[in-house]
Amino acid sequence: MKSNALRRSGILIFMLSAGIAASAESSPIIAPRPTAFLITDYLPPANYEGDSLSACFRIENASAREAAFEVSAKAVDAEGKEVRSFTEKAKASAGAFAAVKFEFETRKTARIHIELKRAGEAEALAETNVTLLREDDPWPATKIANGRLTIAEDGSVLIPLVKKKRVIEDRTFAPMKWLFGDSSDSSGAIGGTALIFAPGAWHLNVDSGVQTLGPWTPDGSAPILKTMDRVLSQIGAQKIQRVVILLPPEDLDLATDPRVYRVALDALMARLTKNGVTRTTLICPFRFGCNAAHQQALWHEVHESAAVNLAKVIDPIDWIGESAWRVDPSTPKVCGPSPNAAGRKMIEQALSALIR
């Protein structure tokens, strides 16, 4: 009896030991919470080549005591040679923040590496990488992360660079003059393959087909960046001669900064030209009931960008009438976010005329 009891005890101890070991093997390893974070407060969605590039960061001290930090930045050219490096020092109380700012020269810079460390220590606590993409560089596969356009392959923040151009627009040009041209337009008829881009939420139907832009859910990014990425990714290596872009209204809804809108639009236009597009027509963003002042501000930037990039531009004044946006055509002043059937037909006819 005593030997049986010892045997049962041994088996029980073995089972308990095996269970503990199995539990230890299956339990996830919980990494300790970081004691500091590097928060990107500002990076431009796009930038003019030659202009300085501003970058603003916040250090969050998540530890229980005051700490001193160093944020180092290193800019390199396309061959990896250092262009400039510098370090900003800051102190932050427990649970508090400290701000740092950098200004980068863009003429030679291709990539930027920012790194957060505790003062006097070698271990990096956090880091951010930025890639500056010039007009001649191929457009990479991208994704939106934390409200910014990033390169899908390595996660670095993507900032397109565009050369700044200046020209004075002939303000006598009216919307219909842009659409049909005039006797002074010596460019002649332009044929070739055409693509139409238009807001996806409007479900427009054109015989040649419509490449949809959105709809996009708010994620902190400027919708014009998604427009740029969608158009450039769709065109890719195709031989497209003509492009019509009905700029989507999300930038009106989210009040995109007009300067950001302009730089991103200039970057898109420059790349379309590099891709062999010979005629681009831009239709200003619109939606019935949006903020009129902000709509006019974006229209101004579209006109300016079209002027310096030799594109056509249309003010869709005739498409913003209240009747074209009624949910029920017989019920006035009850409008939806998309044009109704009559409004869509009017837009579709105009789009079809642009690519004939």
Question: Judging by beta carbons within 10 Å of its beta carbon (0-12, 13-18, 19+), is residue 22 exposed, middle or buried?
Answer: exposed
pLDDT tens track for 316-342: 999 999 999 999 999 999 999 999 999
Distance CA 314, CA 242 (A): 15
Residue 354's closest CA among 160, 196, 188?
196
Written as six digits, the tokens of 28 are 């996830």
Cα–Cα distances in angstroms (integers) from residue 291 to residues 252, 286, 298, 307, in the given order: 7, 10, 11, 24
Cα–Cα distances in angstroms (integers) from residue 197 to residues 16, 42, 273, 289, 312, in the given order: 66, 30, 16, 23, 15
Residue with tokens 């831009």: 282
pLDDT tens track for 260-303: 999 999 999 999 999 999 999 999 999 999 999 999 999 999 99
Q: What integer pLDDT is reported at residue 189 of this predicted model?
A: 46
Q: What integer pLDDT is reported at residue 34 of this predicted model?
A: 86
Distance CA 339, CA 137 (A): 38
All domains in the chain, ordered by first residue: 36-162 (2.60.40.10), 175-354 (3.40.50.1110)
Q: What integer pLDDT is reported at residue 192 of this predicted model?
A: 77
67-76 and 82-92 beta bridge pairing: antiparallel
Q: To the nearest whole number, what is the mean pLDDT of the chain?
A: 87
Distance CA 48, CA 265 (A): 11
Give 243-276 as a DSSP string: EEEE--THHHHTT--HHHHHHHHHHHHHHHHHTT
Written as six digits, the tokens of 86 are 């510098």
Give 94-156 as a DSSP string: TT-EEEEEEEE--SS--EEEEEEEETT--SEEEEEEEEEE-TTSPPPPEEEETTEEEETTT-P
Residues in the chain where the model's pLDDT stays below 50:
1-2, 6, 11-16, 20-24, 169, 171-174, 176-189
Residue 90's closest CA among 100, 101, 81?
100
Q: What integer pLDDT is reported at residue 239 of this predicted model?
A: 86
3-class SS shares of the chain: helix, strand, coil, % to 5: 30, 30, 40
Q: How far is CA 256 from the centre of its chain?
A: 11
Strand ranges inside the chain, DSSP E: 36-42, 47-48, 53-61, 67-76, 82-92, 97-104, 111-118, 124-133, 142-145, 148-151, 157-162, 194-199, 211-213, 242-246, 279-283, 312-314
Bridge partners for 39 per DSSP: 58
67-76 and 111-118 beta bridge pairing: antiparallel
